[in-house]
Amino acid sequence: MGEAIPIPRQIPADAEMRLRRLRKMAWLLDRSVGVGPDARFGLDPIIGLIPVVGDWVGSILSLYVVYEALRLGIPWPVLGRMLLNVGIEALVGAVPVLGDVFDFVWQANMRNLRLVEEHYQARLRPRSSGSVAGVLAIMAVAVIVISIATLWIGIWLIKQLVGLF
């Protein structure tokens, strides 16, 4: 007999719509601006330049990518990795200058998009409203913790700079 014919992967319409939104958001936040033939960055590092609230707003926008992955039924360990990517970007991004450079390079949203594309399968069931609500509550707590950590780092850095002069 001949070779097996691959069966096309049928993606439900709502999942395809979520994947398109996820790709657009990740591209907008991490790759939408070109600087030279190979260097690209997005709105996330630009937003991060706004003192105090920039990194917080960037983290909230990055959590949208995680939310869409959650709705798609991406496995919990992968969602944890995605949250870690956002957390790393938020914490390191809070450091003045170094954090802004890190935001240009790290691109958590594109990392998270790759994770979704590697792990999404049409057979995954979308998560229920109850599980999404529970995870959103956890994400809200994470944002609060990240915000407090960012504020603490900012105050500490200001104290260090004032102590130098």
> For a pLDDT cut of 90, what percent of the chain falls above it?
24
Bridge partners of 40, per DSSP, are 34
Q: Return d(Cα 124, Cα 127) in angstroms, integer.
A: 9
Q: What is the pTM of this model?
A: 0.75
51 φ/ψ angles, rounded to the nearest 5 degrees: -60, 145
Question: What local confidence, expressed as pLDDT, does residue 165 receive?
Answer: 57
**pLDDT (tens digit per residue) in 106-125:** 999 999 999 999 998 877 77
Domain ranges, ordered by start, for the chain: 13-32+39-164
Element housing 40 (H / E): strand 40-41
**pLDDT (tens digit per residue) in 45-73:** 888 888 768 888 888 899 889 988 988 98
Q: Are 98 and 92 in contact (CB under 8 A)?
A: yes
112: which 2 tokens? 């998270």
Question: SS3 for 1?
Answer: coil
